[in-house]
Amino acid sequence: MKFLVCISNVPDTTTKIAFTPDNKEFNKAGVQFVINPWDEYALTRAIELKEAQGGGTVTVLNVGEADTEPNIRKALAIGADDAIRVNAFPKDAFFVAQQIANVAKEGAYDVILMGKESIDYNGFQVHGMVGELLGIPTVAPAMKLDMSGNTATLEREIEGGKEIVQVNTPFVASCQQPMCEPRIPNMRGIMTARTKPLKVVEPIGDAPRTAVAEYALPPKKQGVKLIPAENAGELIKLLRNEAKVI
Amino acid sequence: MSVLVVVECDGGEVKKSSLEVASYGSQVAQLLGTTATAVAVGEATEANLAKLGEQGITKVLYDAEPRLKDFVNGAYTKLIATAAQKEDSKVIVLANSNIGASVGSRLSVRLQASLATNVVELPKTDGGSFLVKRGAFSGKAFADVKLEGERKIIAVKKNSIEALHEAGKTAQVEGFSAQLTDADFADAPKQVVMQDQAGGILLPEADKVVSGGRGMKGPENWSLIEDLAKAIGAATACSKPVSDVDWRPHHEHVGQTGITVSPNLYIACGISGAIQHLAGVNSSKVIVVINKDPEAPFFKAADYGIVGDVFDVLPKLTQAVKELS
């Protein structure tokens, strides 16, 4: 079975967010980039399923410029077999989805996995777009994925519960907790990752459909109003009369 | 040409987030000089759909196919696309929910539409451009996004738009068939399992949340959280370490890799406020933090705080609520 796992390169979760002086772009200066935490669930689960099947391949795909390669190598160190980088800045979700669909079609992958969303742009869009571009089912967001032959059984989160869904390959799923415990690379993985193939291809497809005109930071908080613990009940009065939320 | 609003229904009722989406859609319609039509998905009653008039909807399309009761991606996508074509809708508005995101992303390809999710404000349409404001960087920033092309899809974040309420106005409910076939139900769920929710309030829909962290010391102490939640009509939630050690189920975990919530009131009890937790709750309107450590980083993000022991403070709060009512 051929797994394709799509990963994004995102600012480390503890990053203080700042923008360029014109507010048009994220300010990358001094920021460490990591594999999108949601994508780590997809990557680890693909590797686990491959191992359980005793065969097959896990290919990692990233749409990004050359500076994303350290994180692609990290995915190879965790256990992916090979990687493809589409050499382009990820302009919007539709642009990225087109690149993934194109690679998926050419490689005839059986299972396409990715994280629920990226922690920078929080789009939660790419999975559905890829499914529709390829004309195959999408399950999003998936909390559990098991395979038996060509049939997958997934748990899909819905508000207030879950659906148990069965689909045949090929399909797309976006992954989230508690699908698996994400793996970290070991020394052997890091050594072998250096020699695993990483192919670079050029982008295709139509122009993006959205553009960020400007970024802004949320207004600063006024500061916390502290209520003494012995007068805790006072808080309830403030929430009713001042904040008007209860 | 009308604005098409997708309303999600459950057990015959229109979900609260869909009332907000209906209000958003009717205000967009007014901005564009047209009317707003809704298309209902899930299990609905005609009487409840007609009440969408109170949110400014003039007409509701309803396909009574019984298999649409539960979410089916293929069937819902076709149903909404058919409604959009029938209404010649250039703008489609849906909730930024798991259903909305699943369907919205497929629809955007099928209808060749631009898509913005996580939207928190009404669009700006000055000078021919169409700009929407959306949350980004896990709630640490906002982006004004320009939607290109003739068709646009907007997924509205919960609790970011006040639901309109014009009592007594009704919408006309119209039977509608998207001619769905068995093939459209190929990805229908084999089983739907609903989770037990404290007090029956769904966390993603809640406008008040009481949440506990490791400071609660163990699952046996959760009745303190539940008592306060029940008294103020809130849903309960927890931090990641708490769900990791199985004190509480995963579906209550809020944070960067859990559920993102944006209620009017978020009360954090015994949660220090790791940046990953803040990412899931920082767009709450009012944040209250109760922690015995005055240095807990969460106090920096809070509007109100109590430095004290949760085991002492929580019963006092519950008692104070009871005295109010």
Q: Phi, psi at residue B255, to the nearest 5°?
A: 150, -170
Cα-flanking dihedrals φ and ψ of residue A183, to 5°?
-90, 155
How many Å apart are CA B211 and CA B218, to the nearest integer? 14
Which positions in chain A touch B306 (Cβ < 8 Å)? Answer: 226-229, 232, 235
The residue of B68, B69, B106 whose CB has the most chain A CBs within 10 angstroms, and thus the best one to mutate to test that interface, is: B106
- Min distance B316 CA to chain A CA atoms (Å): 6
> Mean of the pLDDT values across residues A99-107?
97
Interface of A with B in 223-242 (CB under 8 A): 224-229, 232-240
User: CB-CB: which of B97, B110, B146 is closest to A159?
Assistant: B97
Given a contact cutoff of 8 angstroms between Cβ atoms, the answer to whether A134 and A194 are in contact is no
Q: How far apart (Å, rounded) are the C-alpha atoms in residues A115 and A135? A: 20
> What is the predicted pLDDT for the residue at B126?
84
Mind listing the pLDDT tens digit for each residue in A203-241? 999 999 999 999 999 988 889 999 999 999 999 999 999
Q: Is the pLDDT of residue B236 over 80?
A: yes
pLDDT of residue A159: 82
Chain B interface includes A93 (CB < 8 A): yes
Could you report the predicted ipTM of this complex, rounded to two decimals? 0.95
Q: Are B72 and A139 in contact (CB under 8 A)?
A: no
Q: What is the mean pLDDT of chain B?
A: 94
**A8-37 pLDDT tens trace:** 999 998 899 999 999 999 999 999 999 999
Q: How far is B164 from chain A (nearest CA, A)?
A: 18
Residue whose token pair is 């999600």: B8
The predicted-structure confidence for B244-300, as pLDDT tens digits, reads as follows 999 998 889 999 888 889 899 999 999 999 998 998 998 899 999 999 999 999 999
Helix (H) or strand (E) holding A53: helix A37-53
Per residue in A147-165, pLDDT (tens digit) is: 999 999 999 998 888 999 9
Q: Which candidate from A139, A156, A211 shows the least CB-CB separation from B146?
A: A211
Q: Do B145 and A158 touch (CB under 8 A)?
A: no
pLDDT at B198: 57
Q: Which residue in chain A has the smallest CA separation from B314?
A: A232
CA dihedral B60, B66, B70, B71 (to 10 degrees): -60
Helices A233-241 and B310-324, packing angle to 10 deg: 50
Determine contact, residues B11/B43, Cβ cutoff 8 Å: yes
Distances (CA, A) of A26 to B56, B72, B116, B130, B146: 38, 37, 19, 22, 17
Residue A38: pLDDT band (50, 70, 90) is: very high
Q: Do the strands A210-216 and A171-175 form a parallel or antiparallel pair, or are they unpaired?
A: unpaired
Which of B267, B289, B304 has the highest number of chain A CBs within 10 A, making it the mutation to test binding with A? B304
Residue with tokens 């976006």: A174
State the residue for tokens 């309109």. B164
Tokens for A236?
A: 């309830």
Q: Which 8-state DSSP code applies to residue B181? A: -
Which of A136-140, B193-197, B286-290 is the least confident region?
B193-197
Identify from B71, B109, B245, B281 which residue to disrupt to test chain A contact, counting A C-beta atoms within 10 A and taking the largest count: B109
What token pair was written down for B199? 């007090």
What letter represents residue B101's amino acid? A
For residue range B144-184, list pLDDT tens digits in order: 999 999 999 999 999 889 899 999 999 999 999 999 999 99
Q: What is d(CA B236, CA B238) in angstroms, rounded to the nearest whole number?
A: 7
Question: In this structure, how many other beta carbons lie within 10 angstroms of the beta carbon of residue A230?
Answer: 12
Q: Cis (ω within 30 of 0) for the bond into A141?
A: yes
Angle between helices A69-78 and A37-53 (to 10 degrees): 40
Angle at B135 between CA B134 and CA B137, to 5 degrees: 135
Amino acid at the residue B93: V
**What's the gap in Å between the CA of A144 and the closest CA on chain B?**
12
Residue A14: both structure tokens together = 């503890």
Q: Does residue B189 contact residue A163 with C-beta atoms inside 8 Å?
A: yes
How many whole angstroms separate alpha carbon A209 and alpha carbon A211?
Answer: 7
The 10 Å Cβ neighbour count of residue B128 is 5
Give the separation between CA B62 and CA B41, rounded to whole angstroms.
8
Q: Is the pLDDT of residue B204 over 70?
A: yes
Residues in A touching B153 (Cβ below 8 Å): none
Longest dimension (CA), chain A: 67
Q: Which residues pair with A166 in a beta bridge?
A: A153
* Residue B158: both structure tokens together: 């919960």
Strand order in the sheet with B235-238: A225-226, B304-307, B286-291, B265-269, B208-212, B235-238
User: Quick one: pLDDT at residue B199?
Assistant: 62
